[in-house]
Amino acid sequence: MTPEKPLSTGEATRPATAPLYAAGFVTAFGAHSIAAGLGAESGNIGLTLLNLGILLALYDVAEVFLKPVFGALSDRIGAKPVIVGGLFAFAALSLIGLGAADPLILALARLGQGAAASAFSPSSSAMVARMARGGKAGTYFGRYGSWKSLGYIIGPPLGAGLILAGGFPLLFGTLSALAAVTAVWVLVSVPHLAPLPRKRYTLMDLARQVGERRFLVPTLVLAAATGALGAAVGFLPALATRHGMDAFAGTAAVSVVALGSVLTQPWVGRLRDRSAVTDNRGSTTGLLLIAAGIGLVAAAPGVVTIFVAAAFIGTGIGAVTPLGFAHLADTTPPERMGRTMGSAELGRELGDAGGPLLVGGIATATALPFGLGALALLVAAASIPRLGPVEPAGPNN
């Protein structure tokens, strides 16, 4: 078997990849618009704090268990069918939310959306990786990550606006329509990449592959960055209110984080493809920027430092994310790209949950600066393992 050849220029064009960026936007927008809406409307629909926490977690719980499964399925049958099926499922399951006055209905809709996103999110990453083979992984993942970050930025305010205009039914209806339109766009515009022949894997093979340095180190980098993002989204507004700022200023600080990521990712991706930055040096710099931002607000929280820290954190995340995914794309055999991307997404989900839990746990026992300081140290420590040189993996390696 010969290694996969890079796709032709006609296949790896903007019209072919733009629908995949839109799929990344759908999962980020869907998750964050509803999460913000649930928090704002919890009193109006009779949610206790415990029920609110459960509803917020259901989307991520579904993704943790299902992303590796659907990633492996995309290797078996091809990524495009899984993406299209997942988007149509997201559209259909979002319709459950049209009756969202009942917390149980909300829970079913939220769980269903998370399960559907588990299909098209890692499969889209795998498709981007295969289309980018030939030295363009940084550019494509920079754009893909930028569109996901855009979903994180506009999700909460747009979701709140839709709920204000027409309640949860309008928000869920909008998400359903957006997912359906994106599914059709992918179906029409994205080329079908046939699944590649794969050897049969034993459980020992799978354990060995997951334990490979070329998988573990970039996944650790991505998890550390996502853990910092999760903590920043939750605790920067809390710090802002503690230091005399209003809720708008706290939200603005989170938007600075997301904006820094949106602007940085495409730029870093292009630099990587021009060999102006290496995966190792860029990831190390990005993680140290994140750690510096978190450490700054831990040591000297204030009106100015919160926004400076937000810029550091967002820029660092924007540097780390495309480099981590591009490194995985360039060092993973193409026939198991889906499973690798699904497993890497699982690592990010665990980081997303672990970062806020770490900060919250230590802050409860001591004080918030100590929780943030501990996270800063862990993020800095994640920069110590070095990413190896990019040596494309051959089939079945």
Altogether, the residues listed in the chain come to a count of: 397
- The alpha carbon torsion through 304, 293, 315, 227 (nearest 10 deg) reads -130
Asked if 97 and 49 count as a contact pair (C-beta separation under 8 A), the reply is: no
- Does position 49 have pLDDT exceeding 70, yes or no? no
Rounded to whole angstroms, how far apart are CA atoms 294 and 363? 14
Residues of the chain with pLDDT > 70, as a percent, come to: 83
Q: Which tens digit of pLDDT belongs to each residue from 135-165?
A: 788 889 999 989 988 887 787 778 878 888 8
Name the region of 270 (left: φ>0; alpha: ψ -120 to 50; beta: rest).
alpha
381: Cβ contacts below 8 Å, ≥ 6 apart: none
How many whole angstroms separate alpha carbon 374 and alpha carbon 210?
27
Report the pLDDT value the prediction gives residue 315, as an integer from 0 to 100: 96
Q: Which 3 state secondary structure label does DSSP give 9? A: coil
Residue 103 confidence (pLDDT) above 90: no
- Each residue of 107-145: pLDDT tens digit? 888 889 989 999 998 899 889 888 877 678 888 999 998
Answer for the pair 344, 209: CB distance below 8 angstroms, yes or no.
no
CA atoms within 13 A on the CB side of 105: 14
* 207-216 exposure pattern, b = at least 16 Cβ within 10 A, e = fewer: eebeeeebbe
Rounded CA-CA distance 300/369 in Å is 9
Rounded-to-integer distance, Cα 307 and Cα 309, Å: 5
Task: Output the six-digit token pair for 196.
Answer: 């590649």
The two three-digit tokens of residue 73, written as one number: 């399925």
From CA 13, how far away is CA 30, in angstroms rounded?
Answer: 26
The pLDDT score that the predictor gives to residue 368 is 86
In terms of Cβ atoms closer than 10 Å to its own Cβ (0-12, 13-18, 19+), residue 104 is exposed
pLDDT tens sequence across 310-334: 999 999 999 999 999 999 988 888 8
Q: What's the chain's average pLDDT?
A: 83
> Model's pTM, two decimal places?
0.82
pLDDT of residue 35: 66
Whether the CB-CB separation of 349 and 62 falls below 8 Å is answered with no
Q: Which residue has the higher pLDDT, 203 or 218?
A: 218
Measured in Å, how far apart are the chain's first and last C-alpha atoms?
12
Task: Tell me the three state secondary structure of residue 127.
Answer: helix
Q: Picking from 69-78, 194-203, 258-267, which range would have the lowest pLDDT averaged per residue? A: 194-203
pLDDT value at residue 11: 45
What's the confidence (pLDDT) of residue 5? 42
Q: Which of 312, 314, 304, 308 is nearest to 244 (CA)?
A: 304
> Between 301 and 99, whose confidence is greater?
301
Q: At residue 3, does pLDDT exceed 80?
A: no
Rounded CA-CA distance 371/364 in Å is 8
Residue 46 sits at φ, ψ, to 5 deg, of 75, 30
Distance CA 27, CA 121 (A): 7
Residue the block writes with tokens 């839990």: 357
Phi and psi angles of residue 12, each rounded to the nearest 5 degrees, phi first: -90, 55
Give the chain's domains with CATH numbers: 7-192 (1.20.1250.20), 208-397 (1.20.1250.20)
- Scanning the chain, the segments in alpha helix (DSSP H) are 14-41, 49-77, 79-94, 103-131, 137-189, 203-210, 213-242, 247-273, 279-299, 303-331, 337-365, 368-381
